[in-house]
Amino acid sequence: MRLVFNRSALIMPVTLGVAFISLIILPTNSFAVVEPVRETTAKTITPFCLNINKSTTEITGRMTELSNKLTQAWTNQDLQLTTKLQQIDTDVATRREQASVSLKENFTKLEAKATTDNQKMAVTTYKAAVSSAVSTRRAAYDSARQIFRDAVKAVTLTRRDEVSAQLTSFATTVDTAISTAKNTCTGNGKTGNAVHEAYQNSLKTAKNSFQEHRSSDEKIKGQIGALAATRDATFASTNVAFKASLELAKKDLQAAFDNSSEI
């Protein structure tokens, strides 16, 4: 049985991250002043600086929420994949058991038809050849399937590491922007409008950088597709070799039975 991955699901958590980051970046007019602020004293503070603790706390909260949701999405993804693989392995084992029972029954019928020593020896040789071909085919399938699974896991973990690093970089930039803005507001609240602009520019730069990396999210689809193609090619070549082995074994068996069409 072949494993079909939902490749879109592998990059969906990152898309979720982009959506949250879009929410994190506040509009440039979030702290716009409708009425000019009158400087009644030397310490008049702009709305941005007055509200900076509240606004930045909301942003850091969203960042934490994003991190938690992304981790949970990956955990759910792993659980779903594990369940899928277990079901596939169970189905494969069940089908193989059924095939083994059927093959044993066919061997018993052949043994009943063998009346001469030559025919009995031919049946014994045939059983050994077919059993070997079946074992070889199963081993090749198992190997190809496991190689595929391991490779998919590797590319998935690599991509997750890349995204985690990108999110860490984004969070670091946001933290730096917040720290710089707070320090500047503390030093001179009257410069809040300029601080707000610099702050927003830093967040936009961080957001744009993160989104630019999203172009690589689709890459994993192609990687998994290539791995699946390699696995399927192994399956195909294994089937060809398996059929050739069966045909040769059958030909030798029929010769012992005078090429009877009943064999």
> Rounded mean pLDDT of the chain?
85
pLDDT band at 189 (very low <50, low <70, confident <90, very high): low
For 68-127, write each residue's pLDDT tens digit. Answer: 999 999 999 999 999 999 999 999 999 999 999 999 999 999 999 999 999 999 999 999
| pTM reported for the whole predicted model | 0.77
Q: Per-residue pLDDT tens for 235-245? A: 999 999 999 99
pLDDT of residue 3: 43
The predicted pLDDT at position 49 comes to: 87
Distance of alpha carbon 172 from alpha carbon 7, whole angstroms = 30
Q: Between vectors from CA 193 to CA 187 and to CA 197, what angle results, nearest 5°?
A: 105
In this predicted model, which residue has the larger pLDDT, 2 or 70?
70
Crossing angle of helices 52-113/117-187, nearest 10°?
180
Does the pLDDT value for residue 201 go beyond 90?
A: yes
CA geometry: angle 88, 93, 98, nearest 5 deg: 125
Give 196's pLDDT tier (boundaries 50, 70, 90): confident
- Amino acid identity, residue 165? A
